[in-house]
Structure 1
Amino acid sequence: MENIVSREEFKLDKKDFELLRKQIYRMCGLTISDGKEYLILHRFKALYKSRNCRSWTDFYKLLVSGDMQFKEEAISAISTHETSFFRDNHPFTSIRNKVLPELLKSRRPGADIKIWCAASSTGQEPYSLSMLIHEWTRTVGAGRISPADFSILATDISGAVIEKAKTGLFTNHEKSRGLPATYDKYFDKVGGRWQVQPPVQSMVTFKKFNLLDSFRSLGQFDFVMCRNVLIYFDDLTKVDIVHRIHDLLPDKGYLMLGSTETLAGHTDRFATEHMGAVILYRKMRGIK
């Protein structure tokens, strides 16, 4: 029998809103602003119904219980998973023209270049980066470095989107959003979907990861992409995450944020480098 939730039962009063947004913050660091009751109602509606909740108090009790599956589903529901191939385009131009040449220049002999895509959603960003690296090593970097010299760790807080990303399968709509024609050759048609080719896929390792957790298990990276995620955290959490990213980078390592994100006024641990509309943050010797 279909679970029907009446409008009265689905109302979110101020007390429940406060409880829910505080618990969301504790679980994943996301800040739900005042007046954003509609966001919780919209994002949690399906989960509320699927668990036969009769009130938001019931929902909150499940959220603070030991039901880890429910918590995982709630985190996935409240998180933003908007993404596309080569999103915003300009950052990838900066990676091709500035970041990759600089990483090659500072690379230790025989060492891999390690990249972390934090909040990678369903995989379009790390796969875009892998395709870009394949193209760059075939042309500009030819004879000096190969795709085998790169590794990309892609993480997201949602296990569901990580599992989708691992498949490397995308619909026509997903593939067409942002993908330059140059990169069509890195996909094969499988049934009604598009499969990322094995060489591109094998460069990327996907892992479920919460940015509030310790970074120690991740290792060191030469370049970190943490795009369009810090905007959802409060200032203290932003600074904490950025400082821990700083600790993962070697001297001259790079951090890239989203186009609307900035470290100005938050930390002075990075030098800034401007590439047109793109700001790159670089760890430099002497900046602690």
Structure 2
Amino acid sequence: MGGQTGGVNMDINKTEFDLLRKHIYSMCGLIIGEGKEYLIEHRLKYLFKEKGCKSWLDFYHTLLKEGNFFKEEVISAISTHETSFFRDYHPFDSIRKKVLPRLVQNKKSNKQIRIWCAAASTGQEPYTLSMIVHDLIESVGFRTLKHDDFSIVATDISGNVLEKAQEGLFSEREFSRGLPDKYTKYFSQEGKQWKVSPSIRSIVSFQKLNLLESFRMLGQFDFVLCRNVLIYFDDKTKLDIVHRIHSLLPEDGYLLLGATESLAGQTDRFVSEHEGTSVLYRKQSCFSSTGKKTTPVEFQKCD
């Protein structure tokens, strides 16, 4: 708790907490559960001080009056941007062994294989994918492929983290965390930091996007990664996002969720495929034998 100093009260009360969490939900769909007052106090504290607020009610009214830039700062601060290269590792092994070879096999001439990272954060996930793609191109049996046969679109709700992602510059800790030795060849050292090579960055593009809003303008994708983000939405919002992703995929296109996220059982719109310890969701074009959409699958958070 922040306490009260010089007429400034940094302890959030129940009324202030409810006002702020409901407004944050309306802005970006993120759910801040009961008893999570500490999240607002801790993550928004520097913005509270920066704006010279006297209370969290004052902060709430400031948020209502301020423009989009401040709202984006609040969303970025309250969101979780935890990420690393090859996070959880096993899903990327499945991508390398199953998803990419199948996409290449089904590839039509003169058509790019398009991949979407829907919660790119500071860029480790899309750059991981690009490294896997480059390895695939260099392997026996895939040498007819070129780098520009692939396109990776990386989006995030936070413009701040996307700026860092586009820069492609990582600290020693970020560089060493999760990155297998064989992939260090795709980086060059710049002082105490590590820069992603131009060849890896060349097939990755970044774009600011709120998943609550339409994303049809992104076009169609063969493979979508929406990892470790749906757990922060309510069930109705999760289903809406997943169904809209479904509409962007071709028949037999793939969706990959995070390790703690699951579509419970076999759905009308996706069928689950187990690859090692990972679960991939493949698009089903026909939702039911009657041709009607049945009740959508419920989401569950795994233990």
TM range (shorter): over 0.9
Give the structure 1 partner of residue 67 of structure 2. 67
Q: Secondary structure at the match of 1:136?
A: helix
Query: Does structure 2 conserve the Cα–Cα contact (< 8 Å) formed by 1:62 and 1:70?
Result: no
Q: For 1:262-277, list aligned pairs within 5 A.
A: 262-264=262-264, 267-277=267-277
Query: Does structure 1 conserve the Cα–Cα contact (< 8 Å) formed by 2:269 and 2:286?
Result: no
Q: Secondary structure at the match of 2:261?
A: coil
Are residues 53 and 255 of structure 1, via their aligned partners in 2, closer, same or farther at CA, if it must alter by over 3 Å?
Answer: same
Q: For 1:1-288, list aligned pairs within 5 A.
A: 6=5, 9-264=9-264, 267-287=267-287
Q: Determine the C-alpha separation between the residues in 1 that align with 2:266 and 2:75.
A: 26
Query: Does structure 2 conserve the Cα–Cα contact (< 8 Å) formed by 1:29 and 1:237?
Result: yes
| Structure 2 residues not aligned, in runs of 5+ | 288-292, 294-303
Q: Determine the C-alpha separation between the residues in 2 that align with 1:281 and 1:252.
A: 9
Query: Does structure 2 conserve the Cα–Cα contact (< 8 Å) formed by 1:226 and 1:255?
Result: yes
Query: Does structure 1 conserve the Cα–Cα contact (< 8 Å) formed by 2:72 and 2:158?
Result: yes
| 1:142 to partner: Cα distance | 2.5
| 1:101 to partner: Cα distance | 1.0
Q: Secondary structure at the match of 1:57?
A: helix
Percent of matched pairs sharing the same residue: 60
Give the RMSD, CA atoms, in angstroms.
Answer: 1.6
Q: Determine the C-alpha separation between the residues in 1 that align with 2:182 and 2:78.
A: 35
Q: Determine the C-alpha separation between the residues in 2 that align with 1:143 and 1:191.
A: 35
| 1:129 to partner: Cα distance | 0.4
Are residues 27 and 268 of structure 1, via their aligned partners in 2, closer, same or farther at CA, if it must alter by over 3 Å?
Answer: same
Runs of 4 or more above 3 Å deviation: none
Give the structure 1 partner of residue 290 of structure 2. none
Query: Does structure 1 conserve the Cα–Cα contact (< 8 Å) formed by 2:268 and 2:286?
Result: no
Q: Determine the C-alpha separation between the residues in 1 that align with 2:167 and 2:49.
A: 29
Q: Secondary structure at the match of 2:9?
A: coil
Give the structure 1 partner of residue 301 of structure 2. none
Query: Does structure 2 conserve the Cα–Cα contact (< 8 Å) formed by 1:5 and 1:49?
Result: no
Are residues 174 and 21 of structure 1, via their aligned partners in 2, closer, same or farther at CA, if it must alter by over 3 Å?
Answer: same
| 1:141 to partner: Cα distance | 4.5
Q: Secondary structure at the match of 1:64?
A: helix
Please give the TM-score of this superposition, normalised by the length of structure 1. Answer: 0.95
Deviations 1:83-137 (A, max 9, x none): 0000000000000011001111221222000000011100000000000110011
Are residues 270 and 85 of structure 1, via their aligned partners in 2, closer, same or farther at CA, if it must alter by over 3 Å?
Answer: same
Q: Determine the C-alpha separation between the residues in 1 that align with 2:224 and 2:104.
A: 15
| 1:191 to partner: Cα distance | 2.0
Q: Secondary structure at the match of 1:194?
A: strand
Q: How many residues align?
A: 285
Are residues 122 and 141 of structure 1, via their aligned partners in 2, closer, same or farther at CA, if it must alter by over 3 Å?
Answer: farther
Q: Secondary structure at the match of 1:76?
A: helix
Please give the TM-score of this superposition, normalised by the length of structure 2. Answer: 0.91
| Structure 1 residues not aligned, in runs of 5+ | none
Q: Determine the C-alpha separation between the residues in 2 that align with 1:164 and 1:114.
A: 23
Equivalent AA in structure 2 for residue 124 of structure 1: Q
